[in-house]
Amino acid sequence: AGPVESKNKAAMSELVPEPRQKPVVPMKPMGINTSLLGYIGIDTIIEQMRKKTMKTGFDFNIMVVGQSGLGKSTLVNTLFKSQVSRKSSGWNREEKIPKTVEIKSIGHVIEEGGVKMKLTVIDTPGFGDQINNENCWEPIEKYINEQYEKFLKEEVNIARKKRIPDTRVHCCLYFISPTGHSLRPLDLEFMKHLSKVVNIIPVIAKADTMTLEEKTEFKQRVRKELEVNGIEFYPQKEFDEDLEDKTENDKIRQESMPFAVVGSDKEYQVNGKRVLGRKTPWGIIEVENLSHCEFALLRDFVIRTHLQDLKEVTHNIHYETYRAKRLNGNGGLPPMTVETEENQESNL
């Protein structure tokens, strides 16, 4: 029996496959020489996606936060080249500074080149305008979380909509006063609390009030203060997807942030061209001229290169964090839908 057992063992050992080592880099699929097989048409998927997106359009929600008089509305109007934020009218005697922070949202549909965008501008009048500004970021944080909650309730409905209306804040422009000194405690507190729930892009408002040297020094000081206080602004380092993203975003983080901007919705004639600008006794500051201010950099960043990424980071990071926290707090159960709550009340 002895030799038979050893023979069986030897056979068994041959059958047991050796543990395969995991490849370090996933193998690339083999490329098929399409010239031999003819054209298939896989590349048309991009055009199909484009057509679908153009039909449905998309949402973009931008929030502006900062003290009164920093030109928030004007800058947003300049960004989208239309009156999308409340008109900057002259001082009205009946208008009082709100006692607390208010949240006002204005929706518009902007169309360009056949692409429809439902733009919502969320304004926060009253922020930082009181003598005691303690916890004045709380209504803003509450508003941002309410939008996540609204989206979550729609998502967990049994009969959910094909396209959930997206009111989540994709981008928050935080306006820093051009003091040239340092950030105020209020600025640091706001960004510390809200950088965890929304994409914050810091901007230095009314940058034409500083000399070029002051502007450079102030930008460096702001970057340093944010780093020392552990405040992450958009684009956050940990969300860079690849080396190309990292290189591009590092340049923005180390050179451009915070964008020193000037906004204006008035046009002037300069060298036979109509330009957006601000008239001063010593000439016209051209808003879109990079040697005058960094508005063009901010616009390209928010609209032309990172708009889709702002939406994705909001959905995949900030909303997912809120969702996980919410469902964990609820014992893993989805929150009650609005309809269920209303039905329960009517049944009582």
CATH number at residue 182: 3.40.50.300
Structure token pair of residue 157: 């409905």
107, β-bridge pairs: 120
**List of the chain residues with pLDDT < 70:** 1-37, 86-100, 331-348
Domains contained in the chain, number: 1
Structure token pair of residue 281: 């006794």
Secondary structure class of 308 (helix, strand, coil)? helix
Q: What is the pLDDT of residue 240?
A: 80
Of 139, 140, 143, 148, nearest to 166 (Cα)? 148
At which residue do the structure tokens 């047991």 appear? 16
Q: What is the pLDDT of residue 344?
A: 44
State how far the Cα of 285 lies from the Cα of 258, in Å rounded to an integer: 20
DSSP calls for 38-83: ----GGGHHHHHHHHHHHH-EEEEEEEE--TTS-HHHHHHHHTTS-
Structure token pair of residue 14: 């041959």
pLDDT digit string, tens, across residues 62-121: 999 988 888 888 888 888 877 777 654 444 445 555 656 788 888 888 888 888 888 899
Q: Is residue 162 part of a domain?
A: yes
Q: Is residue 303 part of a domain?
A: yes
Q: What is the pLDDT of residue 75?
A: 86
State how far the Cα of 313 lies from the Cα of 239, in Å rounded to an integer: 8
Q: Is residue 49 part of a domain?
A: no
Other residues' Cβ atoms within 10 Å of the Cβ of residue 125 = 17
State how far the Cα of 184 lies from the Cα of 225, in Å rounded to an integer: 10
Q: What is the pLDDT of residue 88?
A: 43
Q: Is residue 235 part of a domain?
A: yes
Q: What is the pLDDT of residue 39?
A: 80
Position 172, amino acid: C
At which residue do the structure tokens 């153009």 appear? 54
User: Which range marks the domain in which residue 150 is found?
Assistant: 56-87+97-261+290-330
Q: Is residue 190 part of a domain?
A: yes
At which residue do the structure tokens 């057992």 appear? 5
State how far the Cα of 326 lies from the Cα of 329, in Å rounded to an integer: 5
- Fill in the DSSP letter of residue 150: H
Other residues' Cβ atoms within 10 Å of the Cβ of residue 328 = 9
Q: Is residue 132 part of a domain?
A: yes
Q: What is the pLDDT of residue 334?
A: 65
For residue 150, give every residue at least 6 positions away whose Cβ sits within 8 Å of its Cβ, in sequence order, or none: 167
